[in-house]
Structure 1
């Protein structure tokens, strides 16, 4: 992600923020990209300071080099840096400073002004720790950021680096958003489902209008519309953009608060701008904290198949619902939808409680976190059962609810 001091834009007289993208086919920029890539490819094992020095020698400083330094920042984000030392640096410092103090006291006790010998102290500490004096000196401040060493680098080619820079520039602008409106048209149902799943995966606050036939308009709250957690939420907002870029026909408009005074500005992006997503088009994802729950429910409810839901359920004129999971009874084909409503979904829960009684599917379960403090009166209108939980839903309780649907379904003849 580009930091604010690396964002290259111009602001029009009408208040629109225009990113200064790089041409992915420009020979000059491809040459710059290749030169920077060479520094990082050959930099494995060197310190962050050494790499930054090489980059500085190549591109220099000043406004004219913002793009160069932005490209370098993209590469730095693809590198893994760690503290590399035979002994923890804090231990080395403690031993070295103690040994130096002892050495000075011995010199004073000897009654003559012998010079202080740094190498002598390094040798003493090295013998105590079983390492070479040179290793003591090298590891003394290895935990400083500049002294971290690059362990590996996720390589790419020059053109993909330019593509990644352009997306990072747009992402950095969205960090200043108050409201983002995205319109997506003429996509296949699978693409729409992917967008809904990613909005939920990144835990973004959104409202949606439209249909599979006409397309959808998403209104997403920006990070600057919130009172807290703006940094984390802003990052989630930026991480959603690469998914949107997979769409063949879209437009995005953002209301911004720009600059030190947070002046109102706007930002526009559409498919014809040619930004290319750096993320693989992998579809939907499962939040990590639900992994244990899925493994357990497959064990205790073996008569049911469980998959991440790709169903988009229309909720009247107030948008759609994409449940988290779909359970299908292997013997009868009966299906049940499950929505896990964690503490981060307060606004979506209110919407579901209001709309599911009228527009929801025949069979569904809402698993609601106790942290939301939902009272019984709020859920009494639901046609589906509620499963309350603290950390993750209880698999045995959910299995019992699923089996109850079998008994309560007259079409099965039970």
Structure 2
């Protein structure tokens, strides 16, 4: 992401619009030049890289763009302190020896020679190496040891996304409207919500859309920026969900001279159609071999039922259920949840949510290999909507239950 001072945006009628870079020849050329500059500085000190960047920046009106792109490339780089001896040990020895000498050029040379002899235990050190290691752990003295170069267009995409993420730094409310999506996409979304300490309340249905209202631990509310930072980190995960709209309420930045002092709230709007590109790894289509195997076997089964991966979010008190599949035949449909090999804590929460949902159109497929007794789980509450399986889940067993459940539900 980008620091606040590198964010570029405008505000029109209370709507915040972040700066985006068009993939023009000039912008792609600038991105390529910066990438090559970082590659050329591998093995050199950071201050040398900074000098090269300042040279590139000289006389440019779009210097904030250059600084923003360079900042992102820095995050793709690895810097380490040079030398074979820890700089803190070098400083300690040099300062200790310096106390016995009168400050002078000759004395400094003598100190470095003595320090080199004293520190040369596993590796022979020269006075020049001691001098180079003295402050090698300071940021500008660290060496660029690794750099993972992106393609120029990828860097521009990262810049655009970083600008959008920056709009969320001061967010205190975030509402997402999501329509039908693959369960793997929703599951990744909820995984990142939990990872970044954000809680979500889900309302709605598949026909009119699901509203996800993001909330956070009470400890986050003391600092709006910290809460907004968690939202910003979450945004790349949202981009993997295929159909959604986002609305964020922001605190206006009063530190900017051009901001209307009467503004009490800004709004940031984003949709899945805006063309932002995520750098987070996309989720797998299936969460497990159980799901992928079931889908493959179902495809070979002759049946009027259709197996869909786009499944409803099922809101329940205290959480949400994301069934693995939906079976559809005409106007009839049932949901399929596969419970495979999971920890006892997961099983308890899974079955608790299924009970709270009070949905009669959910088929629960349970592996006989699970130690449900140890987990304190009893699926008998779901009656004949339970399908037991051992090694593999047979689609015909699920279809038989689907016929019965669909008749009851309709």
Q: TM-score, normalising length from structure 1?
A: 0.68
Q: 1:181, 1:218 within 8 Å by CA — same for their partners in 2?
A: yes
Give secondary structure in 2 for the equivalent of 1:31: helix
C-alpha change, 1:91 and 1:213, in structure 2 (3 Å) is: same
Aligned residue-pair number: 335
For the residues of structure 2 that align with 1:27 and 1:322, how far apart are their CA atoms? 44
Shift of 1:240: 1.8
User: Does residue 401 of the first structure (1) align with residue 375 of the second (2)?
Assistant: yes
From 103, 112, 123, the counterpart of 1:122: 112
CA contact (8 A) 2:199 2:214 kept: yes
Contact 2:170 2:224 (8 Å CA) reproduced: no
CA separation in 2, counterparts of 1:2 and 1:232?
15
CA distance 1:363–1:401, shift in 2 (3 Å): farther
- Which residues in structure 2 correspond to 1:159-198 (within 5 Å)? 159-198=153-192
Query: Contact 2:202 / 2:212 at 8 angstroms: preserved in 1?
Result: yes
Aligned residue runs from structure 1 range 347-366, under 5 A: 356=356
Q: Does 1:338 align with 2:347?
A: yes
Partner of 1:17: 16
Shift of 1:215: 3.2
Verify the 8 A CA contact 1:44 1:152 in the aligned structure 2.
Answer: yes
* Whole-Å separation in 2 of the counterparts to 1:39 and 1:21: 23
Contact 1:95-1:125 within 8 A present in 2 as well: yes
TM-score by length of 2: 0.69
Cα distance in 2 for partners of 1:119, 1:18 equals 58
Decide which of 29, 34, 37 is 1:36's aligned counterpart.
34
Instruction: Give deviations 1:16-36, integer Å, cap 9, x for gaps.
Output: 111110013x11110110111
The answer for the alignment partner of 1:274 in structure 2 is 275
Which runs of 5 or more structure 1 residues have no equivalent in the other structure?
A: 108-113, 287-309, 342-351, 365-395
Q: Provide the secondary structure at the position in 2 that maps to 1:86.
A: coil
* Shift in Å, 1:186: 4.4
Tell me if structure 1 keeps the 8 A contact 2:206–2:313. Answer: no
Distance in 1, matches of 2:96 and 2:187, equals: 63
User: Which range is displaced more, 59-68 or 166-175?
Assistant: 59-68
Listed one character per residue, the Cα deviations across residues 340-397 of structure 1 (whole Å, up to 9, x for unaligned) are 69xxxxxxxxxx89x8285698999xxxxxxxxxxxxxxxxxxxxxxxxxxxxxxx99
Aligned-partner SS, 2:212: strand
RMSD: 4.2
Cα separation, partners in 2 of 1:265 and 1:403, compared to 1, 3 Å? closer
| C-alpha distance in structure 2 between counterparts of 1:318 and 1:399, whole Å | 24
Tell me the secondary structure at the aligned position of residue 252 of structure 1. Answer: strand
Distance 1:284 1:173 in 2: 31
Give, in angstroms, the shift of residue 86 of structure 1.
1.8
- Following superposition, the deviation at residue 272 of structure 1 comes to 2.8
Q: Following superposition of structure 1 onto structure 2, how do residues 100-179 of structure 1 map, counting pairs within 5 Å?
A: 100-104=98-102, 116-130=106-120, 131-179=125-173
Q: In 1, distance between residues paired with 2:43 and 2:142?
A: 9
CA distance in 1, matches of 2:357, 2:150: 51
- 3-state SS of the aligned residue for 2:101? helix
Residue 208 of structure 1 aligns to a residue whose secondary structure is: strand
For the residues of structure 1 that align with 2:359 and 2:387, how far apart are their CA atoms? 23
